[in-house]
C-alpha cells in the first residue's frame, strides 16, 4: 500500500486512533505513530507500558480476504520486523516466537497486536496491525523475558521514526508476496526463523498449560503441538514459553 502517516506526541493507544480513522473510511496504508501511549495494549488483554523512546504505531490494512485469513498477517508483521531490525544490525541473532514476537537471544524485543472487523459476509472489513518495538526501554515486570535494541546494539539503535521507515519498507514486499502467493511462502520464511521448532515448549491457555513438542505451524498458522501424552493439538491463541 501507499502509506499515509499521522504523527502524534501522545495518544491512548495507536490502535484506537487507527480504528477511529478506519470507521471514517480511511484508506489501506493509513499509519498512526505516537511517541508515547497512555493506554497501550498488549495481547491477551495485557497492558503495553509505552514511555517515550520506543516505537509505537498502528497500520490499517484492507485486504479482501475471509476474516479467517487475517491471522496470517501476524506472521507477515514479524518477518518485516525482523528484516527492519537487521537493517540496522545485519549480524544480529533474531528468532521468531509464535505467533508474532521477535526475540533477540531469546528475549522479546517487539510485539504485534492485531484487531480486526469483519463484514456480515465474514469477509475482512479492515485489520489494525499495532506494533511496539523496544528501542530504549523495556518493562522489567514483563511476563516474558524482554530486552531493548539499545541493550543489544547500543549506538546503532535507530530513533523511532527511522525504525518505522525501515519497517514500512520491509513490510511492503512481504505483504505483496502474501497477496500474490498466499500464506505458503510466508509460512516457510517464518518457519526458517522460528524459535524452538522441534523442541519441547509450553503453551499457556486460559485455565491450562500444555507441554509438548513444537512440530510446525499448519497451513493457516496454527501451532501444531505433539502433546506429552501423544495426542496432537492445534492451537490458534495462547502464550508460548520455552522453559
Footprint of ligand BTN on this chain (CB under 6 A)? 13-15, 37, 40-43, 46, 48, 56-58, 101, 111-113, 130-132
Nearest approach in angstroms of CB 232 to ligand BTN is 27
Nearer to ligand BTN, 58 or 170 (CB): 58
Nearest approach in angstroms of CB 220 to ligand BTN is 20
- Of 220, 28, 1, 221, nearest to 127 by C-alpha is 28
Give kind and range of the element (H or E) at residue 114: strand 107-118
Give kind and range of the element (H or E) at residue 104: strand 101-104
DSSP-derived letter for residue 148 is -
Nearer to ligand BTN, 162 or 213 (CB): 162
Nearer to ligand BTN, 28 or 226 (CB): 28
Nearest approach in angstroms of CB 144 to ligand BTN is 9
Tell me which residue has its CB nearest to ligand BTN: 111
Nearest approach in angstroms of CB 33 to ligand BTN is 9
Q: Quick check: helix, strand or coil at residue 217?
A: strand
What are the angstrom distances between the C-alpha of 207 and each of 71, 113, 203, 210, 232?
Answer: 23, 22, 11, 10, 19
237 phi and psi, to 5 degrees?
Answer: -150, 135
Nearer to ligand BTN, 83 or 101 (CB): 101
Amino acid at each position: 500500500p501507499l502509506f499515509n502517516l499521522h504523527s502524534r506526541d501522545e495518544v491512548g493507544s495507536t490502535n484506537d486512533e487507527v480504528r477511529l480513522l478506519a470507521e471514517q473510511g480511511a484508506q489501506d496504508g493509513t499509519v498512526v505513530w505516537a511517541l508515547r501511549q497512555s493506554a497501550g495494549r498488549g495481547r491477551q488483554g495485557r497492558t503495553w507500558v509505552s514511555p517515550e523512546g520506543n516505537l509505537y504505531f498502528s497500520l490499517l490494512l484492507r485486504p479482501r480476504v475471509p476474516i479467517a485469513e487475517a491471522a496470517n498477517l501476524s506472521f507477515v508483521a514479524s518477518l518485516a520486523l525482523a528484516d527492519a531490525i537487521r537493517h540496522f544490525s545485519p549480524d544480529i541473532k533474531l528468532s521468531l516466537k509464535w505467533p508474532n514476537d521477535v526475540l533477540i537471544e531469546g528475549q522479546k524485543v517487539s510485539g504485534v497486536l492485531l484487531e480486526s472487523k469483519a463484514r456480515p459476509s465474514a469477509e475482512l472489513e479492515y485489520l489494525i496491525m499495532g506494533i511496539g518495538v523496544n528501542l530504549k526501554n523495556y518493562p522489567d515486570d514483563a511476563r516474558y523475558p524482554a530486552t531493548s535494541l539499545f541493550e543489544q546494539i547500543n549506538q546503532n539503535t535507530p530513533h523511532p521514526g527511522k525504525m518505522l521507515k525501515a519497517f514500512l519498507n520491509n513490510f511492503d514486499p512481504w505483504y505483496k508476496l502474501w497477496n500474490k502467493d498466499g500464506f505458503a511462502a510466508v509460512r516457510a520464511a517464518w518457519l526458517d526463523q522460528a524459535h524452538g521448532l522441534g523442541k519441547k515448549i509450553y503453551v499457556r491457555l486460559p485455565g491450562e498449560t500444555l507441554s509438548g513438542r513444537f512440530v510446525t505451524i499448519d497451513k493457516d498458522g496454527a501451532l501444531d503441538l505433539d502433546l506429552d501424552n501423544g495426542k496432537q493439538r492445534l492451537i490458534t491463541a495462547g502464550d508460548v514459553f520455552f522453559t
